[in-house]
A = this chain, B = another copy of it.
Amino acid sequence: MCSHSGLADTTELARDAFTRELVERGLLVDTGVPGVFGKNGDFEAIVRGLDVMVEAAGAELRAEVFRFPPVISRALLERSQYLGAFPQLIGSVHSFTGDDGAHAGVLRAVEQGGDWGALFTSTDVVLAPAACYPVYGMATGTLPANGRTIDVASYCFRHEPSADPARMQSFRMHEVVRLGSSDACVTFRDGWLERGAALLRALDLDVRCVPANDPFFGRRGRLLAATQREQSLKFELVVPITSAERPTAVASANWHQDHFGELFAIHQADGSRAHTACVGFGLERITLALLRTHGLEIARWPAAVRDALHL
């Protein structure tokens, strides 16, 4: 991904120093696994403030509120075609279903430092790769006349171990999803790019809007990535966290056209296939951008920023 080695080195240094500082201050707790961090009460208060801001913006659009757990049904993931685009990011959940003898085998593997997970079998669930997937699953059928707007948030998982504190494997995403006509979805996406940028600027963050660049997998993925760019379907709001030259996406807004409408048999009131769009805010990433921009002493942040976040 990084072609300019000078830049990459600077970024890596900045990234390591930032992570170290966050851990020393207790804002993040190192768990020994890259991208899996505990957070202290100060960090969580910022996340909560962001959650409230996004929920309030969604409420202005009279969004219905739903919350889903960090696991989703395996059948839902299969239906979503996520396995085709991002197999490398998925977390599949496996459990032990054996008897006392098999259990002894598991404990032997643990003792010998072996791969005891290999003795487990696939369950009916996988980790949620994004907060919005359960919404498509629950929307199968016919939408009301003006479609639906749904506020949803959950812990998401993406298997991409990294030293970048802004690339966590387990993180929270707060989304608002629109289901309805293509016009409604485009208006929604474009409106949220402005609304999202305004929300982040109210927090004194240095925001820019750029076309998205998702890490589609393999040969087939290069085609999907090119299509995404050409069709200008998805945009990201980026803010500098560990690099000014390569700012980090902290929010994105995506018009899926009728992709999910087709996969999940979602129809508009007139019988035509529904379009969908979503905006997603990465809560840990925005929190890190705030800590990077305003410093690790939250009491010394600009009063307007603290007020906006109820800190």
Which 4 A-B residue pairings sit nearest by Cβ, starting from the closest? A117-B122, A41-B65, A69-B170, A95-B159
Taken together, the copies of this chain in the complex come to 2
> Which of chain B's residues have a CB closer than 8 A to the CB of A171?
69
Is residue A94 contacting chain B, with contact meaning CB distance below 8 A?
yes
Q: Are B73 and A70 in contact (CB under 8 A)?
A: no
Q: Give A168's nearest chain B residue, CB to CB.
A: B69
How close is A183's CB to chain B, nearest CB, in angstroms?
Answer: 27
- Out of B37, B124, B127, which one reaches A33, CB within 8 Å? B124
Q: Are B110 and A83 in contact (CB under 8 A)?
A: yes
Is residue A100 contacting chain B, with contact meaning CB distance below 8 A?
yes
Is residue A91 contacting chain B, with contact meaning CB distance below 8 A?
yes
> Which of chain B's residues have a CB closer than 8 A to the CB of A100?
218-220
- Out of B75, B95, B106, B137, which one reaches A91, CB within 8 Å? B95
Among residues 6 to 39 in chain A, which have CB atoms less than 8 Å away from a CB atom of chain B? 29, 31-33, 36-39
* A87–B121 CA distance with the chains assembled, in angstroms: 12
How close is A35's CB to chain B, nearest CB, in angstroms?
Answer: 10
Is residue A67 contacting chain B, with contact meaning CB distance below 8 A?
yes
Q: Are B125 and A33 in contact (CB under 8 A)?
A: yes
